[in-house]
Homo-oligomer: A and B are copies of this chain.
Amino acid sequence: MPTYNFSSGPAMWPRPVLHQIGAELLDFQGTGVSIIELSHRTSAFGEVMDTAVRLFRELTGLPEHYHVLFVHGGARMQFSAVPLNLIGRSPRRLSCHVETDYFSLRAREEAGRYGPTEVLASSAGTGFDRIPPVNHEACPPDAAYVHITSNNTVYGTRWAEMPVGFPVPVVADATSDLMSRQLDLARCGIVYAGFQKNLGPSSLALVVVREDLLGHALSETPHLLDYGVYARTGSLSNTPNIFAIYVMSLMMRWIADQGGLAAVEVLNTTKAGLLYSALDRSSLYVPTALHDHRSMANVTFRLRDESLVPAFLARSEDQGLLALRGHFSAGGLRASLYNGMPLEGVEALVGFMEEFERCGG
């Protein structure tokens, strides 16, 4: 029986990527050593890193004046690094925030350590079921930046596209949708993403920074949270996360092999569409995000009869459909459909759900 892992991250990877890791684990491209034993100063690793960055740039169409950095610690470390690097641009160290999820609250909390924060809009009042409307003019022009979360992993909502119209740079946490759909990164000043959804193994972040936003780090910024250090050294000021960057190079190659981001987006739209259709025609399952705000990466729902949740989780596990429990802060159920989840996995899930409903749970 095949297994499908619907975890919100770490998450299912494309099988060809895992197979390639296995195939060259003991001897990386004839070097005689494993990729994880290779020094970051070798030309073999240099090529891996160059490939990861080059393919990322090609696939996203990233303009030249953006740096691509590999920053330790995942997205959550960027909750600190972003204010440390940018807030000095504001005379009163002000950052603005759009609150759409558990993680956007954490990002604001951390920015609050270094200066005042202002909430431009929030969907907390409606249980984070939507992206709230934002009045761009409410954004003080002396703020350092506006922080958004382009896809909300916990509540399953997403911005239809990267926003325009703010008087200050947009900083987007794109952890759960970067490389799963076409996004105009050049609308933002900074885009960052934790690796463990569509990029590779956990504990690293990809950070895209517009050239003019470097050089404003506060003096108390730790050396390895200063984006300028990463830009100057090509992310090699200390030993980088070699394994993660290697896997990212394979992930980028896999996306290119699918036909690029447009093709991957079509597949992801199909996958999510299949599941949302099933939810919409069901009388047991209730999708939790408003229709026009639905994430394609994280499909959140609940059961009309909540007492059936334990049975739903136990039986789905028995069917090899793993990790469907919602985030602890939101409850309910969630199916995450990142790039590594094949269409067959969603079909299997929908089949199970229909069967579960038909049999009265």
Contact = CB atoms under 8 A, between A and B. Distances in A.
8 contacts: A10-B36, A10-B40, A36-B202, A37-B340, A76-B223, A110-B222, A201-B243, A203-B240
Number of copies of this chain in the oligomer?
2
Contacts of A22: 22, 25-26
A320 interface: yes
Contact of A322 (B19, B33, B204, B240): B33
Interface stretch (A1-9, A46-54, A59-67, A166-174): A1-9
Nearest to A75: B238
Nearest to A194: B239
B202 A242 contact: yes
Given A76-B224, A203-B72, A222-B84, A239 B196 contact: yes
A76 B10 contact: no
Interface string A69-84: 0001111110111001
Contacts of A242: 10, 201-203
B194 A113 contact: no
Given A239-B9, A239-B202, A77 B224 contact: yes
Interface in A306-351: 320, 322-323, 340
A119 interface: no
A33 B5 contact: yes
A113 B239 contact: no
A237 B76 contact: yes
A283 interface: no
Interface residues of A, number: 62
Most B-side CB within 10 Å, residue of A239, A244, A322: A239
Interface of A: 3, 5, 7-13, 18-19, 21-22, 25-26, 32-34, 36-40, 42, 72-77, 79-81, 84, 110, 113-114, 194, 196, 201-204, 219-220, 222-225, 237-244, 247, 320, 322-323, 340
Nearest to A327: B41
A306 B347 CA distance: 66
B220 A7 contact: no
Contacts of A81: 222
A320 to B, nearest CB: 6
Nearest to A218: B220
A18 B26 contact: yes
A37 B25 contact: no
A17 to B, nearest CB: 10
B10 A239 contact: yes
